[in-house]
Amino acid sequence: MRTFLDKLEKLAESQPNHQAIVCAGKSISFKEFWNNIELVTTNAYRLGYQAGDTFIFASKPTPESIPLAVGLVRAGLRVAFVDPFTALNSFQVRVGLLDPLLVIAESTLYTIGSAKTPLLRKLLKITIADFGSIEGTDFYYTGKKLPYLPKGAKSASQEFLRPVSAFDRTHRIENSDSILVFTSGTTAAPKAVVHSLESISANFDATAKIFDFKAGDRFLCHPITVGLVALSEGATWVIPDKKQNTDFNKFFGVPTDALELMATIERKGVPKNQIGYFGMGGAPVPPKLVNRVLEVVGDQTRIPCIYGMTEILPVAYCDGREKLEKTKGDFLGKPVSGVNVRLASDLELEVSGSGLMKGYLGVLPNQWHPTGDLANLDENGNIVMIGRKKNMMIRGDMNIYPSLYEPGICAIAGVADAVMVGVPNEYADDQIVLFIVPEPGLKDLERLRSSIWAELPVYVDKAALPDFVFFLPAIPIAGRSKKRDMEKLVELASKEVAEAK
């Protein structure tokens, strides 16, 4: 198949001077971008690295850092993404599973995570992994040289972008491992999703069709795997920065990113309907958020709501407007081209397709992947998620799935977001706690509480009605993925229930 690397090489010829990446006032053209990729590939061989070697990449996306990751993948190395904010014991287990030969990380991560800077971490109130503690590894840094870098650490740009007389155009091994990404799992048995160049390229192609990318588009997003989708279609990847660039016409982010962006749009007076596509994914997209997008961004804007997971992305998508018509379950839309879905006997959604991972690291792959999501398929083949197998509460002999009710609760006036969690009582029966995020500016919370209790029976089955309703200024999120922090929510719920008694 034609991979995203093949596309980038062609774009360097067809639109060499077009902007490929823009960030914080810096940019790189498609020709410069591809030239740097080839430099990295050639220098990787010069430095003695080989196809199949693993490297950890922990640098924020910039015009300087992206060619490093892509060039090493082109050389046949496996790029592993390890969240620096992973629990320390989990970090050690994950690194041991990877056995990396090199680490490319931001200099700030090395410095803050160093064993010599505990006071700095305490001051910043963060827990961060020490990448410099990994043994048997070569260290490279991006950004400025800072104190407390690992011994022998070198500038990644100086080493991998060193000028060469001729590029090494060695072809990589077909269908070999290219990308490793850890998903949630226990400390003792972490799961690393393995994608080949072919499977990740299939995912890129499917995502590109959702956004209908064209040369000249300016796509604002942060994740590297989504930004590369735009690049491989000839669009300019605009990486978010502190100056909050509003010169773009397409966007993708998690709901929390979307809310922050809309605040910027309002503050800077961005004309309505300037943004043609305002995509969201990675977490539930409540109807109220869709209405907010229509109000702030414009009613002509397309709102792709993408459902997927690290193992295969995307699986399905819909326009946010379709979610407004549903009050039970989370409407996800139809599977994208190349993705097959089926329901197991317990209604767990299973998926397969050309974009499905090769498997988990060290585990034989399956043709079908169980998603952990419970779903129905309507008469038109649309997926409607009704809950999570793991995010399930038990009350008496009833299994209660929050995702079945949360979208409807968000339709209540004054409710910006809602999440249900369970707190077991002394009989191991779940007490249901409903957390509500009020709409911005709403002052009379007791009046809102009364409205919620009055309208809950419209959206929630009697057996699933909450025992408690509490308010939060925002739903807590975890990690760089910015997904709901369910552990924190359960902790908050337990505390609130204890105090309420």
Per residue in 411-438, pLDDT (tens digit) is 899 999 999 999 887 656 789 999 999 9
- How far is C-alpha 64 from the chain's CA centre? 22
Least-confidence region, from 22-36, 82-96, 241-255, 341-355: 82-96
Pairwise CA distance, residues 170 & 75, whole Å = 8
Predicted pLDDT of residue 186: 42
**DSSP conformation class of 302:** B
Predicted pLDDT of residue 430: 84
Predicted pLDDT of residue 288: 82
**Other CB atoms within 10 Å distance of the CB of residue 172:** 18
Question: DSSP letter string over 92-113?
Answer: HHHHHHH--SEEEEEHHHHHHH
- Tokens matching residue 214: 């064209």
Pairwise CA distance, residues 108 & 125, whole Å = 15
pTM for this model (two decimals): 0.83
**Other CB atoms within 10 Å distance of the CB of residue 267:** 10
| Residue extents of the structural domains in the chain | 4-173, 199-374, 393-500
Q: Output the CATH code of domain 199-374.
A: 3.40.50.12780
Pairwise CA distance, residues 63 & 21, whole Å = 6
Average confidence score pLDDT of the chain: 91
Q: From 3.20.20.140, 3.40.50.980, 3.20.20.10, 3.40.50.10490, which CATH number describes the 4-173 domain? A: 3.40.50.980
- The top-level CATH class assigned to 393-500 is alpha beta
Q: Are 177 and 194 in contact (CB under 8 A)?
A: yes
pLDDT tens, 383-411? 999 877 777 787 766 778 788 788 889 98
List of E strands, 221-320: 236-238, 250-253, 277-281, 304-309, 312-319
Residue 479 has pLDDT above 60, yes or no: yes
pLDDT tens, 360-373? 998 888 899 999 88
Q: Vertex 482, ends 472 and 124: CA angle to 5°?
A: 85
Bridge pairing between strands 218-220 and 250-253: parallel
Pairwise CA distance, residues 284 & 289, whole Å = 10
What own/partner pairs with CB < 8 Å and gap ≥ 24 does 70-73 have?
70/5, 70/8, 70/37, 70/40, 70/228, 71/36, 71/37, 71/38, 71/39, 71/40, 71/41, 71/44, 71/160, 72/40, 72/41, 72/44, 72/160, 73/5, 73/178, 73/179, 73/197
Q: What's the average model confidence in pLDDT over 99-106?
A: 97
Q: What's the average model confidence in pLDDT over 63-90?
A: 90
Q: Vertex 47, ends 42 and 50: CA angle to 5°?
A: 75
**Residue 99 — φ and ψ, nearest 5°?**
50, 60
Asked if 4-173 and 199-374 have one fold, the answer is yes
Residue 170 has pLDDT above 80, yes or no: no
Residue 187 has pLDDT above 50, yes or no: no
